[in-house]
Structure 1
């Protein structure tokens, strides 16, 4: 309710108040000969009458728009993409959809208002009057785009759209969010009623993909390549996974057994001969009735490093464990090792790949400057880290990991006694109490997928049960954010087993922190089970070191890192390239170019400096389908500084997955205010969608006062009549 006063309120209200007070005063004075009761009754009647007249002057009421008839209709949206050509019994999906659309039109009381449209990648330009003459030939399905186009074009029909009946298998191939269409339709009061065409059929496919977009190795050293195999629709098969070199020669192979699992992992060993960039290929066996063979092969990029990995070992409480570990690292040709052992309070023994010496110089036992620390790629702590680290050195160590992409390994569990708050910041876990009971190690799926162990040392391998148990570790009170458990410790008998983290990794800034929560692994080197498995002790530590250094931002001996925002993209997707440097100060930005194989596709130019960071970035769009590499090089001497691979994949084709997408259709219906229907629901739905809509014509709205009533006039007259009767009977007239 609102008011439309006869006069402006700032005039009407004061004037009305004055008239009301004057009327009440005159009534009181004019009825002075009456008794008090009659006098009050006369004054009250006049006051109520005047108030009623004042309300009429305020003119309460409301604006009411006139209703007008609006013709309405409904749309039938028919999918004519290539997947609709699939056979369903004696008919194709397209023939079923055409038949249903024709029946739906016949259910309408006014067939000219049930309009049929076809679509594939977008809504067809013209109304499909001869739908039966068309063929399902669309290369893609875009329900979202087609629905939005229909909502935009429908007002031209002059009809109100009561709803959309969607006849499709529901497989949204083109990029698009069904919620966007559903929300737009709901905002316009247009519910969507999907009718799913096609029966559920199981798609069969075997595909392979590398565990990482790029692998790293050393000349003459075994590199583990992880292959992820995906199985859809096959039971009890044993596909063979092969690794091929650049000449398509098979260099490694392994079978994987599937019962009905969707995924499986195999690890293949490859030993590169020389440093450089290599292109390998993973291939998996094809099987009958596969929906596509395009995903049975994938390229793998391998960077074979020429620079040795430099390791510094700090051992404050030497034992057989630290002695064996140092000897193992020194025996590896790709490692350059410097180790310092504390013998007593003032004596340390320093040994490197080149020399050995005794020292009592506190400055020589651990790198004391940034420059000294940056000479190494990995810092390994045994026990007694507190003997090496001062607050200043600990802060340098944190910067070495976070800013310079270094790696720190705690090789014997908790590296200090009591508390060490400055070092605790970088640790991947919060240490608990010591554990003396025996336990054995068992890799997790994360560890196997990372390529730490091959199939012979998979989590289910019996080798782990045959190895001697370990009995020195710490309980883990908390696993910090971004930390991953690579290996579990399993304690107790089979009926009452418990587990806790044994090998934990954590990304920290640009670098990596590893904790091996076990002491006494050196015993593995003396047992036949370990030798039968290919010397687990050696494999465990060398693979762990190799994995750790290649997961940091900077590779051994390299001053630049190269990272891509995406490694698998669709055509024309924007990719962000980020280049970082270990060095500080004003540096010239390196240049980037795009390669396909060893052929340059185009120059990408120099990236732009990121403010307040020793890093640069560049954005570019992917090109046509294929495997590419972004190459970082020095524009002065053309020296290659790094490569990062990525793959441009074609969007899924119409025939890749013929299983109807019931979940997509259900969400589209519910979020738009509609529901999923069946063919038998069409008669009732047609009646639901065909009531005439009445809309309000606000251009011809009129004012409807609330006081326009004969009863109000009678009431006002009666009030004034009461006073007139009282005055007449008392001789006042």
Structure 2
């Protein structure tokens, strides 16, 4: 035990005091030195030296009082050096492997614990040598092991990864109150670097510590396992377009085994391939080509069936989320006669490369057919009503009947098919004109109930220019919201030529009907402006009625203003098409997750939002929600709900739910809102805008931790790490134990690593000693000066 002395200041005066004190000390010392240097006799010089000594002693006493100096006496002993043991706690340590093929496999964790017990004597010896032994577990981070855990290392290895570089890097942080690092021991299977770049990082961090790193490998060379090691798939796909999904299957101990690789969508198989597993560690490529048949968000899985005595089944599947989008929108556009409005809409739709347009002009009616010679060479083809409205009706995403008389053109008998098409999720647009609403052609009850206007009364075309008024619902609706942001609204746009004087559907509230544009002067019997543009959401479909055939003027009038760089006509119709086809921004109820993939232990946040028919946030709406596994139950029915509840949306129409501690798997979250006539379910997996919406997501197992299970690369990696840092490479499979004389850095002969066993503080400024010293020094100098006749 050694004694260490030091001075400690208990008080530091303010800046102005320090300046004054420094000036006074310098003046006193300077004057004393000047007096000492004056020529004197030998005896007088000894007196001058005594005067200088008394002055310096007095100044020292004054400074001790000013700074409240304390003499600190510490009893110190060498604290020894620190040896850190890093123990792998990742999921791969739970795998079982064997030294020889055919031997009974043993888990790497059990092998690690046995090697640690064999090293008990060595650990006692380390402490006897004064080493401070610190045990830490690591996976994606590190944490200390204490007490019994540090003596046994008995843990359940479940970590999601093995970030050895981070664990080593934490040891390089300066810690002045701790013993200096002298060595590191790493006990692991060595699967700590998924690629060469990470491997180089681990070695660089270890070498940067400047201490030997001894490694103890817990893995064995023989393991039975098959894994889906890697999947290559895009996040997006297009409906009816072939997309390739590729995977690498890696096997160990199963060379030549025949198996089947299966592709599943939302838990149900969609394709499979036969595969004969290759040699150990050699990846086998599997490629699936699928053409998604519907729009939506889907969880795909590539899976390999478990093999007998396989080390783990956690890596036999790999799930990923694919969002399927529309590639081309199929639109049927049927016009009663060609005119400028028909031409404008047809040109706009044909210009869009994502639209597959099928367009027909009706150039002859029943009278023309009756007197026409159908055998003539220039005879027009008959309008294919059966093919369009019966055979292929369901293949269209959008149907536009443009100034079309269903009676005149013999389509009235198919209106019930069109009504069913809308209820099943189709989109229908009716555009006015002189042929459209004058003869009750759309009065069929099944269809009339789905429209936002009343088509059970005649509404012949009226020719009177006008500028529509934007309603409150129109200010918020995706189709017309752009008008609300324009400087002068419709006032800056051309007037429209004509309109059909329609009334709103008396039961419009039951189908979410809303009038977006109304006539400024012409009113219905209830005193409301007649609808010019109205929309509804019946069943799972959407309908729109435009009671004028002159919107083409929004694209071709002279001095036409541009809004955000686009023609008003383009804005109106492109917004309408997006809404009709249920673009992501047009849903009345939306449900989202903050991301499509989660790690085990992460919180999943569901976020719902409700909108009114006028697309204002709708508060106070009851929304029921549930969460269930995506895969169906044994009976083929949806799995039992894991969680469910009821939301009431806040003032902004929002609701949230946090889901925690979900196990690995694929899940579907659904939300459902009640409408005036009950809820309507949706089969569409995307579900946006439906009254029942769904979102799928996956909770993944420990990352890529189990994608690589063979211990051979890990054994090589640990041996190279030990060699590069001057440590020793050991193997638990060979029965090695940690050595009593473990490689360490040489101790440094400096003050680092001293432990304070006792401390005693002696105040130099407080008490009678300090007062006596001040009086003796200042008084002694004064008396001596008087005797010598000094000033």
TM-score by length of structure 1 reads 0.46
TM-score by length of structure 2 reads 0.44
